[in-house]
Amino acid sequence: MNRLKKGSRCTICKSKGEKNKAIVYLPHHRLALCKEHFISWFEKRVEKTIKEFKMFSKNDRILVAVSGGKDSLALWNALVRLGYEADGFYINLGIGQYSEDSKQLALNFAKRIGRPLHILDLSSEISTIPQIKESTNRPACSACGMVKRYYMNKFAKENGYNIIATGHNLDDEVAVLFGNTLKWDIDYLKRQYPVLKEENGFIRKVKPLCKITEKESALYSFFNGIEYIEYECPFSEGASSIEYKEYIAKLEEKHPGTKLQFYTNFLKRMYPILQTNEKLKEELNKCKICGEPSYNEICSVCSLKEKLKTARV
Amino acid sequence: MEITVSYRGKEKKLNIDKDKITAGDILKALDLSSDYAFVAVNGEVVSEDYIIKETDKIKVVNAISGG
Ligand SMILES: [Zn+2]
Ligand SMILES: [Zn+2]
């Protein structure tokens, strides 16, 4: 069986002598589940991933990177339900209606689960993403990723959080792994792990959804009535990651489990090999202007700020 | 048969040349794979062999995002 047939029963209910109808079928796990058991399966899987990679414990203060999308909200929901101390952090990127809508959805959700959502306005820190794109000729997504990483790290440190959790899911990780493998980009492959340890002024970053597929994340949000932004950021249209995901989905349809195997075997078999062959680590300095970690005298965000200043003159 | 579905926050009209339309036909018409998309009818997730009724409120969720 590759898809759900009408009238299938939930695997877990069946084992308990109950007879609830399954509404989800997960071919790669050979599980047919009812709504209630899907939700508990999802949360258990997230908990297991957190433990497997020793991501954090109940004593840690976690900052969830919230975009208003399904993954970050599903993650936040699951962490709070699992009893972790997790607050949200939303960066207003100033991307017109998209930012307005996603911010509102993030705020609504924070209110619903009764946890604080910190909001940082990029326009008051540096500039909006459209302005940065315009005045630097830098592709919007690369500048956006860079400033998000920077402000997330800075904010977390300044506000006493010791963990940053992001909503990257299995499909995201597989698409990145696929892209990096096609290019044999060893520097990126070497760093593709669901936990990035705290060091040199960076705080620990984790991806608790790394074994959850995009569809599972969407289903979890749907079943929990979580309203999230359903349309894409206008800048991400035509992103190569979407193209990869569509190719990989074709493989997965024919051979369920391909994605999970590609990713988990990379972590188990390839990742350790890449670590042994590490060249001398590049020395990380502190940015002369803001004090954040940087490979150069001035970090990329501060030098972007300089560029924006001269562009405005 | 013409049906209206809610997709990525918008209403979308689909023309499917069939008398009995299944949830799977809707995914196919939108060129979506069940690996990353699903159909909900009247607020409940349905299997691909579900046959659409005229009064059904249909929502298609495509989980793929560029992230
Ligand atoms: Zn069940
Ligand atoms: Zn700096």
Distance CA A64, CA A203 (A): 13
pLDDT of A2 strictly over 70: no
Confidence of residue A276 (pLDDT cuts 50, 70, 90): confident
Distance CA A89, CA A82 (A): 19
Confidence of residue A43 (pLDDT cuts 50, 70, 90): very high
Q: Select the residue of A35, A167, A236 nearest B66 (Cβ to Cβ).
A: A236
Specify the amino acid at residue A310.
Answer: T
Greater confidence (A313 vs A215) lies with A215
Q: pLDDT tens across A156-168, in order?
A: 999 999 999 999 9
CB count within 10 Å of CB B2 equals 8
% of chain A with per-residue pLDDT over 90: 79
Chain centroid to CA A58: how far? 20
Distance CA B39, CA B23 (A): 6
Task: Report, in angstroms and rounded to the nearest whole number, the Rg of chain A calculated over CA atoms.
Answer: 21
**Cross-chain residue pair A245–B45, CB shorter than 8 Å:** no
A177 — phi, psi (to 5°)?
A: -60, -40
Say which ligand is closest to the CA of A288. 2
Question: Is the CB of residue B51 less than 8 Å away from at least one CB of chain A?
Answer: no
Distance CA B28, CA A197 (A): 43
Quickly tell me which residue has 């036909």 as its tokens. B25
Q: pLDDT tens across B2-58, in order?
A: 899 999 889 999 999 898 999 999 999 999 999 999 999 999 999 999 999 989 999
Write down the pLDDT at residue A235.
86
Structure tokens at A177: 């792994």
pLDDT of A304 strictly over 60: yes
% of chain A with per-residue pLDDT over 70: 96
pLDDT of A289 strictly over 70: yes
**Cross-chain residue pair B63–A214, CB shorter than 8 Å:** yes
Question: Is the CB of residue B43 less than 8 Å away from at least one CB of chain A?
Answer: no
Task: Report, in angstroms and rounded to the nearest whole number, the Rg of chain B calculated over CA atoms.
Answer: 11
Distance CA A50, CA A209 (A): 9
Say which ligand is closest to the CA of A126. 2
Q: pLDDT tens across A138-155, in order?
A: 788 888 999 999 999 999
Domains (range + CATH), chain A: 1-33 (no CATH), 48-278 (3.40.50.620)
The strand pair at A293-294 and A285-286 is best described as antiparallel
CB count within 10 Å of CB B21 equals 21
ipTM: 0.95
Contacts of residue B9 in chain A, CB cutoff 8 Å?
229-231
Contact A30, A12 (CB under 8 A): no
Contact A64, A76 (CB under 8 A): yes
Contact B49, A5 (CB under 8 A): yes
Q: What does the domain layout of chain B look like in residue ranges?
A: 2-62
Contact B12, B4 (CB under 8 A): yes
Q: Select the residue of A24, A231, A249 nearest B36 (Cβ to Cβ).
A: A249
Distance of CA A271 from the midpoint of ligand 1 (Å):
37
Contact A175, A236 (CB under 8 A): no
Per-residue b or e along A270-284, where b marks 16 or more CB atoms closer than 10 Å to that residue's CB: eeeebeeeeeeeeee
| Top-tier CATH class for B2-62 | alpha beta
% of chain B with per-residue pLDDT over 70: 99
